Chain A
Amino acid sequence: MLFESEAHNAGQIAISVRNLNLIYKTTVQKKPTFRQALTRTGRKIRTVNALSNLTLEIPYGSVLGVIGANGAGKSSLMRVVAGIVPPTTGRVEVYGQVSTLLSLGVGFNARLTGRENVILGGLAAGLTRAEIEAQFSAIADFADIGEAIDSPMKTYSAGMYSRLAFAVAVVVEPDVLIVDEALSTGDAKFKKKSLEKIKTLRGDNRAIILVSHALATIKEICNDVIWLDKGKIVMRGNPEEVVAAYKESLQVAKSSSADEDL
């Protein structure tokens, strides 16, 4: 195991989120420039309440699914929990070591090889080189991308890219694992392998947060689901019920496309 994690008991609190608000202020033009800074009058500031007044606790031993439409605040919540973005108000406590948003930042520099990116991502996350190298062959095996591991990442296909990212996230075996839409680009074989791996991790009393639009997967591996809409929790509870209610809201309950896995 890479992180110095102690055994956690099921039911012990892993993440506690209290009265969390996250407000983004963005100018309408995407890139801030001197010109806009000089002509402040001309720009519009758009305020986005990404998360409003969220309170939730996630115990160890649970796999929490997070569902909701695009822009519901799923990724924002993950970034706050991972400590990447500070909350606007409220408080988040994380008891344990988090492997953030898959990937530990794999692929931040496309000119470097997969191997270099994995090592650099791990080092940035605070692991030592020895710790990463001890796990490297397991990561390469899991990703199963062959010799491509030593090619620059700009030559990777989307599938290879996400396989490597997923491999890094699960092989380091953190206390708290956050998987954000990771399973969506792998092929059927890799998807099956990934789900098996998440199920194994679930058995070890870790806390796993899985953000996905793949409702069938959510039903299969989560034991708790929250449905977010416009930054608020609409519903939390049993996966079957929450997914059913969510599908009903989308009025796609009868269409098979939403159920089609990933």
Chain B
Amino acid sequence: MGKVQIYEPFKGGLPPVRPYFSDVWRRREFISAYSRSELRAQNFGSVFGQLWLILNPLILAFVYYLLIIVIGGNSGSERFAHLTAGLFLFYFITNSMIAGSKSITSGGKLVLNSAFPRLILPISATVISFFKFLPTFFVLGVIHLTLGLPIGPELFYLLPVLVAAIIFALGISILTSILNVYFRDTRNFLPYFTRAWLYLSPVLYTAEQLKPSLKPISYLNPLYTFLGSWTDILIKGVAPSLANFITMFSWAIAVLVIAVFMFMRREREFALRI
């Protein structure tokens, strides 16, 4: 006799964890195929097409640079490099959060008509955001070489910071995907949250410029460490401290574990709430 599938009442606990994750792993092809199709569809029919993946972050950086000049901040070339590096990483994380929030609710038909681990939807959202983030490395590289910023072995520290940022981005993508199923307002609220988060993070200013009275922000805002480490490596060629690595990975792993736990407890209810 072949496999038997048994469907029983949902008691609020977790589904069997091991088979669940092997089910998710089996769907990795879905995740990569979905991301590629989605990226193609998003820019299909626009004049610049895929070029928008580079144009978007670049225009964004210039607009914010304009803001810094207008409000009379330090507008040296190094300031521009710091802005772009911080902004791109910040937007990777918040894009992942915003895409994640829509992932379950906009997967409507798929969620209603087939049985599969729903976790692959917010994971895909993060992968798509990551693919949009990748071309910005090209932009950063050009800026780096043009401005003659330090090149050395410290640049390798970008990799572990990036890994921590991806884990963190995935965690919040999963969290907002759950939240938006229960509270559809989440989606409307997120752009404002993102804006406020940007102003509370060292992107438009450097970490050193923050008033001492506002210092507590840096402990409450996980992005503080991510952005600080990221721009320190790129602009100053300084490796992050061990404490910073511990902070980043603790945030990232804690958020991911909590998010996945909540997701797995709730996901069997999603089809009823779409």
Q: Which residues in A have some Cβ–Cβ distance to B below 8 Å?
A: 4-6, 24, 31-35, 37, 79-98, 100-109, 111-112, 116, 119-121, 123-126, 128-129, 152, 175
- Point out the residue from A100, A116, A119 that lies within 8 Å of B115, measured CB to CB: A100
- Name the contact of A82 in the complex, choosing from B8, B9, B114 (C-beta under 8 A): B114
Q: Chain B residues in contact with chain A, CB under 8 A? A: 1-10, 23, 26-27, 29-30, 33-34, 37-38, 41-42, 44, 106-116, 120, 182-185, 189, 268, 271-273
> Which residue of chain B is the closest to A88 with respect to CB atoms?
B9
Q: Which residue of A lies closest to B28 (CB)?
A: A123
Asked if B7 and A32 make an inter-chain contact with CB atoms under 8 angstroms apart, the answer reads no
Which residues of B are found within 8 Å of A79, using beta-carbon distances? 112, 271
**A94, B4: Cβ atoms under 8 Å?**
yes
Complex CA distance for A112 and B189, rounded to whole angstroms: 27
In contact, B273 and A124 (Cβ under 8 angstroms): no
Q: Are B272 and A32 in contact (CB under 8 A)?
A: no
Give bound CA distance, A126 to B24, whole Å.
9
Contact (Cβ within 8 A) A86 B8: yes
Known contacts A5-B2, A108-B108, A112-B41; is A123 also within 8 Å of B27 by CB? yes
**How far, in Å, is A45 (CB) from chain B's closest CB?**
13
Tell me if A124 and B7 are in contact (CB < 8 A).
no
The 28 sampled A-B contact pairs (Cβ below 8 Å) are: A31-B184, A32-B184, A34-B185, A79-B271, A83-B5, A83-B115, A84-B113, A84-B115, A88-B9, A93-B7, A97-B3, A98-B115, A102-B113, A106-B109, A108-B113, A109-B37, A109-B107, A120-B110, A121-B114, A123-B27, A123-B33, A123-B34, A124-B27, A124-B114, A126-B27, A128-B29, A129-B29, A152-B41
Q: How far is the CA of A256 from the CA of B261 in the complex (A)?
A: 55
Q: Of the candidates B113, B189, B268, B272, which one forms a contact with A105 in the assembled complex, judged by CB atoms under 8 Å apart?
A: B113
Asked if A32 contacts B183 (CB within 8 A), the reply is: yes
List the count of A-B residue pairs having beta carbons below 8 Å apart. 140
- In the complex, the answer to whether A124 meets B271 with C-beta atoms within 8 Å is no
B162 CB → nearest A CB, Å: 27
Residues from chain B with Cβ under 8 Å of A93 in the complex: 4-7
Please name all residues of chain B whose beta carbon is closer than 8 Å to the beta carbon of A102 when the two chains form the complex: 113
Residue from the list B113, B182, B268, B272 in contact with A24, Cβ < 8 A: B272
- CB-based contact B38/A112 at 8 Å: yes
Partner of B116, one of A37, A92, A95, A126: A126
Given A124-B110, A125-B116, A126-B27, A86 and B268 contact (CB-CB distance below 8 Å):
yes
Interface contact A91-B271, CB-CB below 8 Å? no
> CB distance B8 to A87 under 8 Å?
yes
A107 touches B109 (CB 8 A): yes
Q: Is the CB of A35 within 8 A of B120?
A: no
Given A94-B4, A107-B109, A112-B37, residue A35 in contact with residue B114 (CB < 8 A): no
Chain B residues within an 8 Å CB radius of A86: 7-10, 268
Judge whether A37 and B183 touch: CB under 8 Å: yes
Give the Cβ gap from B239 to chain A, nearest Cβ, in Å: 41
Contact (A103, B4) CB under 8 Å given A24-B272, A32-B184, A124-B30: no
B44: chain A residues at CB < 8 Å are: 111, 152
